[in-house]
Structure 1
């Protein structure tokens, strides 16, 4: 009979393992391994897992899985209730918890050790040390900002954002916290929020802001502009249609190559007239034609000019009705078509992404 807490826990574990074989948690292939584990636990803790009375006395009315489920619920409730005062507590309640001089000194020592851990790139240790400092001196903007920097370095950007937001709510004039908030928001894909954080940092720094803060702001702003440009470019393309500055008329493009007049099949297949459709996969494997197609699809005006040229419309009509491919040499004698061809070949790509990220330094604060 189990007489100690550890023996009762060992029996509860054995009961959990046995139940897992019968409730579908584990497969029959695992039975031999589980049986060996149960025997080893029983022998090690000097208990008998096959004794129903002993197991019942150890587990009571709830088995180990049920007990652990209760623990998880209690843990989540405790964590949630503990988090609320950390983010919302203010005023007299905080004054009542003002740390003593000894606690402040110990917190400063922990912060200094955290800074050294950051310098050594031991980010988990730095996070733990800053957390200990905050336990002694809660709502310290510097400690929160430093922990935000450590979280960012460890790529836990959500935690970094939470710490930085709390730091700036405590001390808006501590500008390093604004910088770390900008970095965390940018890493989480919130470019507008990042830009706002850097703007606040520049405002609180005064004199136009530091170079690092301004660089972070410009990087975030550039990303916002890129996203807005992508949205603007995508809208007319999604609408389709030709006039009014809209995107390329893909149905007309399909008909130019002999496709059906109803806009072409979504899988790219098209039934040409007599003479057959050109092998588009072979054409597009040619770098010259691939470049032409890319430039054409990225320039709605060029597409509209192309589709409104009567020579090309004539070519499309003749080809789709079985008249065969046109005399391209004769076609290129048309100066308008020749000019459009040169424009398609010239193309003008946008600048490459410089890959820069905003943020003024990861290092710990003061």
Structure 2
């Protein structure tokens, strides 16, 4: 019996157990469902109360319900996008009108407005601005790519995948769209697809640090799933959170590589890549990694949110970081780590 099958069964049992706890299942049906759960678990050798199995088989933070929701959205989106035979024939017999110079000029203004709204974290409004840009000039891959970043920033990674792929259908050589696509796929937990997206981008730009970092993190997640600790006898720390925000010292190194590739120091940010090459700072990070403090730091929601934005191309300014109480507190903790 494969581990993938056991993971599915474990997710089903978790869903059924939650349905009992939250009252979805009537009290009269509770006992019968519990017996059925026990039979299912025994048939597939899955025991939710076993801590080792829980660590090995759990798909958290995803749930069976969230995975199913992603499938339904994808199916609906593909179904809506698929034209009828008559519509397809009509489309093939007509030519798409090229945007005029005025259309392109107005589209650029909407894009700039969207970029400003992204900086202000007004993601829904930014998406509306990019919608207008796309409507005026659907031949520009940048508009789809920027909208993908906005969708990722608000947590709608499925929509981000659609826009990143649309950008690539317009221009297969638009490297940034591969980064958007890989990040969205990684965030959805589809590490194989993320790895593929990063690899495709690197074929066009082999020195892109952001794509390299994303590929390393996706590959690490695939490897950790294929070779579980119980099989290998070796416990290997896995990256957590968004690509590049791993829980160990490698996570900080990956962050430095990514920021170096994005031109660390821009947008009011200090040259973080240079900071990561500072021996004293790296010694502090190594000490934190040894006692588990670094893993906790990289799992902090504030850090995860910041890394999501960086991976999406939305580099926060230094002033913005300093005005965020949670990030100021993290800075105090980090700078005091070596005391």
- Name the TM tier (shorter chain): 0.3 to 0.5
Q: Which is bigger in relative contact order (C-alpha 8 A, separation at least 6)?
A: 1
Which structure has the larger Rg? 1
